[in-house]
Chain A
Amino acid sequence: MIQALERILRQSWDHLGEQVGDLLPNVLAALLILVAGWVTAKLARWAVHRMGARLETSFRRWGFFADYYQHTTASQVFSRGTFWLIFGSAILMSINALNTEMGSLLITGILSYLPRLLTAGLVILAGLLLGRFLARGVLIWAVNEGLEPARWIANAVRIGVGLLTVVAAAEQLAIARTAILATFVILLSGAVLGVALAVGIGSRKRVEEWLDRRAALLEEQKHEQPIEHL
């Protein structure tokens, strides 16, 4: 009885040893890939950040990273992007190195989805940059025109471009295309309806006052400031 128990335990231990022996190289390889990937990603991030100074000038020139909403620079964005691209690839490689069925399925799925993911990422980046650029232009214009809710107008432009970007990115990712498009249309219609109701019922008086002030301002400009600036 004891001998049988000993035999079963030994077999079990040997089996475990064999399994660990089979798996260990894969796990070690995965860990190695992960560490190497992390180090490479960190180095690449540092290098891109250093080289980013040139990009910084060009991007700021176009108003994409003008830091008036938050302190994010072009080189920071690109260096972070590079880090996650390399480290993300390392994670995938290490999962692949484990040589498990589930890992293989995951990798295959991600790889087939990668082109869409990249396109969506680019769409979001372009939308973010365009939104910021347009918002800054609109903000400056609104202030120069003496429009009181200048910041609101600029934010509305930024949010509008952002929403459009989300719809376009969702289209690329093929995620709930209809649902997101419908949500966008509902939001837009809701906003328009809300403004219409505010003008028509709720804030009629306030809107009237604002329009009156605006008209008076334009009248002032017309009659009271005939300075020849040149």
Chain B
Amino acid sequence: MSENVLRPEIDEQVRALKSADIVIGVPSFNNARTIRHVIQAIEVGVEKYFPQSRAVIVNSDGGSTDGTREAVLSTHTDDRYLMLLSHPLYPVHRLATPYHGLPGKGSAFRTIFRIAELLGAQACAVVDSDLRSITPEWIELLLRPLVHAGYDYVAPYYLRHKYDGTITNSIVYPLTRALYGQRVRQPIGGDFGFSGRLASYYLRQNVWDTDVARYGIDIWMTTTAICGGYRICQSFLGAKIHDAKDPGADLSSMLTQVVGSVFQLMETHEDRWMATNSSGDIPLFGFRYGVGLEPIPVNLERMVRLFRSGLSELRNVWEVALQPQTVNELVRLEGLEPRKFHFPDELWVKVVYEFAAAYHRRSMNLAHLLRSLTPLYLARVASFVVETQESLADEVEEKIERLCQIYEEQKPYLIAHWRPPTQRAREREVGAEVHHTTPSQAGVAAKG
């Protein structure tokens, strides 16, 4: 039985409801401008596609001061039951804003999982409260595979601008795919569907006081569903358009939180990914269509300048994490002009794998290690922008596919560097002993 994470009054409120078929969670923090639209889309979606089901919408708010709660209350709710909760904030969130700009997202999700468990919900979904592009069809697409096809986890599949989602495209998607063998295109999408039994499984995991739950709840949900052996699929949701983000949002913190969560999960599920050798497609629901997206101007010079600055100032830090040969290859990129900048895929994959291994070995303070990746990541983004300037969406997707294949091909390199040198030497010795065993000895051993 899961620990009761609900406050007594909420617990009472939930128990009074007795049961529900569907629970939809909307964690929020200062989203007054968009949350009304999100709640309306959910209500229409439930009414249109699941008219026979008893549904509960849970808005878990992180202490908004812009009238988010009032906006939710003023939304016409019909006979759907709407629960307004406030989730606790960890003090640390006041210092480091999580990448989604949503304090305490982990605790909000935990509350939603618990409510779903208490109500015995068959299907659940969570959607971001800053969405501008959500439609009632999203609810159908996130819930139907759970209700009618027996899936446990529905990941979103969006159409995005070729320059959007660069952390996802260059690190999280290819790495998750190479590690766990499932091609989940948007593993940190933010809008997910999951079954009631998976919600209970999530609740039983002992992560709720860790940074993964605080900052990396999205990748944690995806990875846990994969490694728990649950049935996974994707649903095509069309374009994903958010409310405008803070332009001064700290890229370095965002990268640290996301990549740190992925690396931490690699430690948790080491046995699983070490045993995975290839990847496979997962079912995609929904009708795929093209969406017109506005061009995005990108400042290449700034990205390359930051990389060069990193090369001159952080080289000694990188030398702790990276192999000498990798550092030498990075040095060779120094002289390239921004318009001709090229960061080879193979080199990028080596950088990511060596950083993962350095994280595992605790080669240096983890915050320093992860933050020092920023200039390298920007160099990779600059290279991607240069290479895909004239490319159409399909060509960009092909390029990402090639990168994914390199991640998979180079996985033995990750495994070799993940294990400490002493262990590798021991394994080599064992390997040499096996190699030097005569055929007759081998035969005896086999018979034995």
Contact = CB atoms under 8 A, between A and B. Distances in A.
A207 interface: no
Interface in B277-322: 296-299, 302, 305-306, 309-310, 313-314, 316-317, 319-320
B167 interface: yes
Interface in B382-422: none
Nearest to B294: A226
Q: Chain A: interface residue count, which band?
A: 35 or more
A224 B297 contact: yes
Contacts of A148: 309
Interface string A143-169: 110101011000000000000000000
Contact of A143 (B160, B168, B299, B313): B313
Contacts of A133: 365
B313 A226 contact: no
A63 B368 contact: yes
Contacts of A136: 317, 365, 368
A227 interface: yes
Contacts of B425: none
Contacts of B374: 143-144
A230 B254 contact: yes
B237 to A, nearest CB: 15
B381 interface: yes
A68 B316 contact: yes
B208 interface: no
Contacts, number: 115
Interface residues of B, number: 48
B184 interface: no
Nearest to B305: A146
Contacts of B236: none
A137 B165 contact: no
B375 interface: yes
Nearest to B318: A68
Nearest to A217: B302
Contact of A60 (B305, B362, B371): B362
A14 B215 CA distance: 87
Contacts of B302: 146, 217, 220-221, 224-225
B331 interface: no
Interface in A50-103: 57-58, 60-63, 66-69
A62 B254 contact: no
B247 A227 contact: no
Given A62-B365, A140-B371, A230 B188 contact: yes
B258 interface: yes
B224 interface: no
Contacts of B347: none
B249 to A, nearest CB: 9
Contacts of A217: 302
A64 B165 CA distance: 35
Interface string A201-230: 000000000000000010011111111111
Given A60-B362, A140-B372, A144-B252, A227 B320 contact: no
B365 A151 contact: no
B371 to A, nearest CB: 5
Nearest to B385: A227
B167 A229 contact: yes
B247 A221 contact: yes
A77 B421 CA distance: 23
Contacts of B424: none
A216 to B, nearest CB: 10
Interface string B316-358: 1101100000000000000000000000000000000000000
A223 B296 CA distance: 10
Interface in B146-199: 160-161, 163-168, 188
B363 interface: yes
Nearest to A136: B368
Nearest to A69: B316
A170 interface: no
A69 B306 CA distance: 21
A96 B188 CA distance: 71
B229 interface: no
A203 to B, nearest CB: 22
Contacts of B76: none
B367 interface: yes
B10 to A, nearest CB: 30
Interface string B364-382: 1111100110110000010
A48 interface: no
A68 to B, nearest CB: 4
Nearest to A148: B309
A139 B314 contact: yes
Interface in A103-145: 133, 136-137, 139-144
A109 to B, nearest CB: 42
A33 to B, nearest CB: 39
20 contacts: A57-B361, A63-B365, A66-B365, A133-B365, A137-B365, A137-B367, A140-B314, A140-B368, A142-B313, A143-B306, A143-B314, A143-B374, A144-B374, A146-B302, A221-B247, A226-B247, A227-B164, A228-B165, A229-B167, A229-B251
Interface of A: 57-58, 60-63, 66-69, 133, 136-137, 139-144, 146, 148, 150-151, 217, 220-230
Given A137-B365, A139-B317, A144-B306, 14 more contacts: A60-B320, A61-B365, A66-B365, A67-B316, A68-B320, A140-B371, A141-B371, A144-B252, A150-B309, A220-B302, A224-B299, A225-B297, A228-B161, A230-B167
